[in-house]
Amino acid sequence: MNPRIAVVPGSFDPPTLGHLDVIRRAAALYDQLHVLVVHNPGKEAMLPIAQRLTLLEQSIAQAEITGDVVVASWSMGLLVDYATDVGAGVLVKGIRSQVDVAYETPMAIVNRHLAHVETVFLLPDPAHALVSSSLVRQVASLGGDVSPFVPEPVARFLDTGARDL
């Protein structure tokens, strides 16, 4: 396991400006970064996984995030199995509040037991502290403007392309 290779996992349904901020910070810290779309069985999805991958790729390119950034998806089992496959020694999670700490801590401990993978918590810009995918999903489904909260390709898609889903 290489401590210079990291995975940023999440549902990314849809990607938000908070996600992009964490991806930018992590890309600057690690030699290689895997942005991994993982199906979360505890959440009802809005977007198909293929669409989330496309939106992440477009958003990362438009934000000019540099470095070795791989966008992929994983539905074959444990997150740490993907990390082991690509040799990643680190999982990166964004922490907005104590609620996130409480949600992420048990997963971090379990993942360390499962595969000796460390979890690193990054603090996003406070400007994004209140943004969540679930709020964006709710506002978008009710016809509201989500452009202050998501990257431009996501806002464009939710405004137009999402009608065809």
Answer for which of 6, 20, 35, 38 binds ligand PNS (CB under 6 A) is 38
Task: Say which of 4, 43, 113, 116 is annotated catalytic.
Answer: 43
Enter the tokens of residue 22: 């964490």
Judged by CB under 6 A, which stretch of 9-17, 26-34, 64-72, 120-128 contacts ligand PNS? 9-17
Q: Exposed, middle or buried: residue 33 (CB in 10 Å: 0-12, 13-18, 19+)?
A: buried
> In this complex, which beta carbon is closest to ligand PNS, that of residue 24 or of residue 93?
93
Q: CA dihedral in degrees (12, 13, 18, 22; nearest 10)?
A: 0
CB 155 → ligand PNS: shortest distance, Å? 19
- Give the span between the Cα atoms of 95 and 32, in whole angstroms: 21
Given strand 88-94, what is the order of strands in its sheet? 68-74, 32-38, 2-10, 88-94, 118-122
* 10 near ligand PNS (CB under 6 A): yes
* Residue 73 falls in the annotated catalytic set: no
Other beta carbons less than 10 A from residue 71's beta carbon? 22
> Which residue, 55, 128, 116, 126, is CA-closest to 88?
116
* Residue 141 falls in the annotated catalytic set: no
- Please, which of residues 88-147 interact with ligand PNS by CB under 6 A? 107, 110-111
Known catalytic residues are 19, 43, 96, 133
What residues make contact with ligand PNS under the rule CB under 6 A? 9-11, 38, 40, 43, 78-79, 107, 110-111
- Binding-site residues, in ranges, read 11-12, 19, 43, 79, 93-96, 104, 128-134
